[in-house]
Structure 1
Amino acid sequence: MALRWRIPYTAGVIRRRPIARRLAMLGMVFAAAGCSPPGILDTLNSLTPGDSDAHRAATAVAYGPAPRQRLDVWTPRSNGIGLRPVVIFFYGGAWVKGSRGDYGFAGRAYAARGFVAVVPDYRLVPSVRFPAFVQDGALAIRWTRDHAARFGGDPTRITIAGHSAGAYIGAMLALDPHYLTDIGVAPTTIRAAALLAGPYDFYPWDDSRAVDAFADWPRPEETQPIHYARADAPPMWLAAGTADTTVKPRNSVALADRLKAFGAPVRLREYPGKSHVDLVMGLSKPFRGRVPTLDDSTAFLMAHSR
């Protein structure tokens, strides 16, 4: 599930907005300098006006002993009435790459919409294999439950979001309760999940990175989120781009259908003509006009965290 990023500069919002064209040209410069695509997007995001009511309140906070078990916290600058809802955002990268520092645009976006947003790193292949990265996600949830109030967040209103491999982690945590119960956290701690372009039903594996991440596990069905669909799952919003060739939209369709069959609360949102990276780029200020993933996901999470 290799993630191919392309920062567009000739289509849609870019044609209409000269500032976006200039930002995209800067992105090309950063790419030539060796910056990662998500890092480029985060830089472009920081150069684009908006989301001023959000800031990074804490960085590199340890939620476990390993170097990769660190997280950042983003909060609204303005004081709210009472504690705010919380969202934990898990980024993608095919379980082999990614950095919370490159996804500040996501933390800032959700904080500007009124959430306390937590963006954790997690251990990656080849240093670990399944289920270590899911277990890290559970530890990040436990840390958030225990510490959210310090940052104005309500520990009884924790939601999760994620993209690609991060959506996979979010789905496993929402659907398979043992990851949380094993560390003393009630599965009901997760109030809702908004997941973008995630792999949920992808065995047999046809990608080398999935093989590297999961093939050592002796029971392949236990690696698949769809295996854990249940009637009492938390409300889930599953988004897919119909032009996604990295993680096929059938993953979201299949999981939504299985959850519906159990009577679980689920909403499927398919974005016509949108690619794998379009969905996460929609969280960033320069490219929100391409796909309304920020508006749609925050509306769902806010509605289910009251």
Structure 2
Amino acid sequence: MAFDNLDPQGPARNAEVAAYAERALALSRAALDRVDASFDIAYGPEPRQQLDIYRPKGRALSALPVLLFLHGGRWRAGYKEWNAMMAPAVTEFPALLVSARYGLSPRFLFPTPLHDVLRALAWLHHNVARYGGDPNRIFAGGHSAGGHLSALAVLRRDLHGEFGLPTAAIRGCFPMSGTMNFDLPEVTPGSEEEEIRRILLADDRDAPLASPLRYAEGNRLPFFISYGEKDFPRVIATGKEMIAALKRQPCRLENLVFAGAGHFDTHLDVARAESRWYPTVRSWMTED
């Protein structure tokens, strides 16, 4: 079982991260008896390419909408198991919740994590019907690094065909506390922005290619962008940039600011079915 065999990772970078990771895993373990689940399903040939699927408990339903939600961890850590805490709320829509692993730094740098997410989306389109999902009603989202990767994956329409993913199968995107732009006019040595580039990118020249904002032009896919009132400054600033860019596009757009919430609070909040995040997600995923 996935929760019993978590790959060892390095120590958390600070106490806040450690507390979040411990809490997310505890909430996720506690949620397991309220859903049916299939763990560690291969979506590609590499050991890291695995996903978990959570289904409504005790109900044999079919053609359910699908939410692929990606964990955070600053592109270098994190577990797909952190997202199981969302499963009771999502499966009550009813819908399927899917959580996938992707390549982590320093071993796997951009674009490998993006390609992993695209492969996972394509696998779902071709295989999720066997688990009760609708292959043509797939939504993508994620927290932090996962929010960034989910937005980039759905916007990179130029890559969808290469991975066997019909763009029309993706019906919406729900990035939470994700950085939407790395292509800054100036990056100060020793700054947070420089460190993030070092973690994610093999080459600084890839910063535009790793930025969802670059691909907002012409987007028609619905976007629901959320972040915390006290989130990281770069998350708030680039989130606002992305919202402004998408307002100029022919797409449905909503925004939620979690009142009083920091970067990690946003994800922990959706362990509660009463979270303000769910009404929009439920409405978009279940409408005809």
Deviations 1:111-152 (A, max 9, x none): 233111111000111111111001000010111111111111
Do 2:39 and 2:52's aligned partners in 1 also have CA atoms closer than 8 Å? Answer: yes
CA contact (8 A) 2:76 2:105 kept: yes
Out of 96, 120, 138, the position equivalent to 1:116 is: 96
Tell me how far apart the structure 1 counterparts of residues 241 and 57 of structure 2 sit (CA, whole Å).
40
CA positional deviation for 1:168? 0.6
Unaligned runs of 5+ in 2: 1-11, 188-192
- With over 3 angstroms needed to count, the CA separation of the structure-2 counterparts of 1:52 and 1:212, relative to structure 1, is closer
Q: Distance in 1 between matches of 2:181 and 2:54?
A: 32
**Runs of 5+ unmatched residues, structure 1:** 8-30
36-45 vs 187-196, greater mean Cα deviation: 36-45
In structure 1, C-alpha distance between the alignment counterparts of 2:281 and 2:77, rounded to whole Å: 24
CA contact (8 A) 2:144 2:179 kept: yes
**Which residue does the alignment assign to 2:256?**
269
Q: Is the CA contact 1:89–1:118 (under 8 Å) kept in the aligned structure 2?
A: yes
Q: Do 1:73 and 1:119's aligned partners in 2 also have CA atoms closer than 8 Å?
A: yes
Q: Which of the numbers 127, 136, 151 marks the counterpart of 1:156?
A: 136
Whole-angstrom distance in 2 between the partners of 1:121 and 1:208: 23
Q: Is the 8 A contact 1:237 1:267 kept in 2?
A: yes
Rate the CA distance shift 1:105–1:44 in 2: closer, same or farther, 3 A.
closer
**In the TM superposition, what are the counterparts of 1:140-155 in structure 2 within 5 Å?**
140-155=120-135
Instruction: Indicate the residue corresponding to 1:255 in structure 2.
Output: 242
Q: Secondary structure at the match of 2:119?
A: helix
Q: Name which of 187, 212, 215 aligns with 2:199.
A: 212
Secondary structure at the aligned position of 1:144 is classed as: helix
| Secondary structure of 1:147's aligned partner | helix
Post-superposition shift, 1:248?
2.8
- Cα distance, 1:237 vs. partner? 0.3
| Contact kept? 2:141, 2:151, Cα under 8 Å | no
CA contact (8 A) 1:193 1:301 kept: no
Q: Which segment drifts farther, 136-145 or 77-86? A: 77-86
Aligned to 1:43: 26
Indicate conservation of the 8 Å contact 2:28/2:82, yes or no.
no
Preserved contact between residue 87 and residue 161 of structure 1 (Cα < 8 Å): yes
CA distance in 2, matches of 1:248, 1:101: 23
CA drift at 1:78: 4.2
The answer on 1:92 being equivalent to 2:75 is: no
Residue 215 of structure 2 is aligned to residue 228 of structure 1: yes
Q: How many residues are matched?
A: 270
Q: Give the secondary structure class of the aligned counterpart of 1:249.
A: helix
Deviations 1:196-222 (A, max 9, x none): 111002333514133231251534322
Report if the CA contact (8 A) 2:182-2:208 is conserved. Answer: no
1:245 counterpart = 2:232: yes
Q: Quick one: distance in 2 between partners of 1:139 and 1:46?
A: 27
| Superposed CA RMSD | 2.5
Indicate the residue corresponding to 1:299 in structure 2: 283
The separation in 2 between residues aligned to 1:149 and 1:39, in whole angstroms, is 33
Amino acid at match of 2:103: R
Q: CA deviation at 1:188?
A: 1.7
